[in-house]
């Protein structure tokens, strides 16, 4: 069995013309080139293939169902291409698969429930596609998952409570979809190792579950631009450095101040007097830095009622004289933690 490495060679042309008969290869690596054309169904004859890396090219067309014959496949990476079509349910035969990455394409259709058979899977990335339908409850069988990313699609329905079985999950990205319903407290009880959860830009309603904010390893939690309501839970894990709550107009309460950056604009929530400024994410921001949030800072007065409207840039500018000295003081006492900012 031989490897077939051709990564970072600036190779151009059709993929089928570049590759001849390599049916005894176990690694196929052509990432970071300028390859175009479709994925040939004939590649399904590569019986020994374990790693298929074709990311960062200009490949088009659909994912061939014939690839289900790759019974030893461990890692498939075709992200950042121009792939279309639906996800073949036949890929459920990949029982040894650990990493599936097909983000940043134009795939459509639904998430196949048959992928529940990927019992060894640790990383699942289908972000930034055109997928529709709901999150299959059958994926609860993927108990080895550490990363699950289906952000920036058109998914709807609720988040299955069965995902509580993901005992090894570390990173969950469901943002920029149309997910709805409530978040059951029981969903998060077993997520002991989760570090980063992003559910921004959905239609989730109800209260924020206390178990979600109490995850012992949680560092970043994005819940902004949903329809959460009610009083904030009183307990927040000491590990949290970033908490995004903005534009949930029904949320009320007061937050403790620790080493975390909080966005509460468009809510009735305020931090304690230790942090009398509220911070707002720009509408399309995916990460938080002090540079992004400082121009959006405005004073915040604790209230039991949600605000009538979010501060506009002109309103923020009018209060700049009152907040600039506080911002400068905060800026001097900040230190970066990953993509977030923590206040010393």
Read off the pLDDT band of 341 (50, 70, 90). Answer: very low
pLDDT of residue 326 exceeding 60, the answer is no
Residues in the chain: 344
On whether the CB atoms of residues 277 and 297 are closer than 8 A, the answer is: yes
Higher pLDDT, 9 or 128: 128
pLDDT at residue number 234: 85
Read off the pLDDT band of 98 (50, 70, 90). Answer: very high
pLDDT digits (tens, 9 = 90+) for 22-50: 555 688 888 999 999 999 999 998 888 99
Percent of the chain with pLDDT over 70: 70
pLDDT digits (tens, 9 = 90+) for 171-195: 999 999 999 999 999 999 999 999 9
Average pLDDT taken over every residue of the chain: 79
Read off the pLDDT band of 21 (50, 70, 90). Answer: very low
pLDDT at residue number 304: 39
Q: How many Å from the N-terminal Cα to the C-terminal Cα in the chain? A: 55
Give the burial class of 326: count Cβ atoms within 10 A of its Cβ; 0-12 exposed, 13-18 middle, 19 or more buried.
middle
Pick the range with the lowest mean pLDDT from 50-64, 92-106, 216-230, 264-278.
Answer: 264-278
Pairing, β 340-343 against β 334-337: antiparallel
Helix (H, G, I), strand (E, B) or coil at 68: helix
Higher pLDDT, 271 or 65: 65
Q: What does the DSSP assignment read for 288-328?
A: --HHHHGGG-EE----SS--SSPPPHHHHHHTHHHHHHHHH
Higher pLDDT, 133 or 321: 133
pLDDT at residue number 262: 80
Report d(CA 172, CA 116) in Å as an integer.
17
Q: Any long-range contacts for 225-232 (C-beta under 8 Å, 24+ apart)?
A: 225/200, 225/201, 226/199, 226/200, 226/201, 226/202, 227/203, 228/204, 229/205, 230/206, 231/207, 232/208, 232/269
């Amino acid at each position: 069995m031989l490897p077939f490495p051709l990564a970072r060679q600036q190779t151009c042309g059709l993929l089928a013309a570049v590759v001849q008969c390599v049916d005894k290869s176990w690694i196929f690596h052509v990432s970071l080139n300028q390859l175009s054309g479709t994925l040939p169904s004939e590649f399904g004859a590569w019986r020994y293939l374990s790693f298929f890396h074709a990311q960062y090219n200009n490949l088009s067309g659909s994912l061939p169902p014939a690839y289900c014959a790759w019974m030893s496949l461990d890692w498939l990476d075709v992200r950042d291409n121009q792939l279309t079509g639906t996800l073949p349910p036949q890929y459920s035969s990949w029982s040894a698969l650990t990493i599936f990455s097909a983000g940043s394409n134009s795939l459509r259709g639904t998430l196949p429930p048959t992928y529940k058979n990927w019992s060894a899977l640790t990383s699942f990335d289908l972000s930034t596609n055109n997928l529709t339908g709901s999150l299959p409850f059958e994926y609860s069988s993927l108990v080895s998952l550490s990363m699950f990313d289906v952000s920036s699609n058109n998914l709807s329905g609720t988040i299955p409570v069965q995902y509580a079985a993901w005992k090894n999950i570390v990173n969950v990205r469901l943002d920029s979809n149309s997910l709805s319903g409530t978040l059951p407290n029981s969903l998060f009880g077993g997520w002991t190792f989760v570090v980063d959860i992003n559910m921004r830009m959905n239609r989730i309603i109800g209260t924020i579950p206390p178990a979600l904010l109490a995850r012992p390893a949680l560092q970043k939690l994005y819940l902004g631009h949903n329809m959460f309501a009610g009083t904030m839970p009183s307990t927040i894990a000491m590990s949290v450095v970033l908490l995004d709550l903005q534009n949930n107009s029904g949320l009320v309460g007061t937050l403790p101040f620790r080493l975390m950056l909080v966005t509460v604009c468009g809510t009735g929530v305020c931090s304690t007097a230790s942090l009398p400024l509220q911070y707002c994410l720009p509408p399309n921001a995916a990460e938080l830095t002090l540079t992004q949030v400082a121009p959006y800072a405005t004073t915040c007065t604790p209230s039991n009622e949600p605000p009538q409207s979010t501060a506009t840039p002109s309103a923020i500018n009018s209060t700049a004289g009152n907040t600039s000295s506080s911002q400068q003081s905060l800026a001097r006492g900040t230190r970066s933690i990953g993509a977030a900012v923590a206040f010393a």
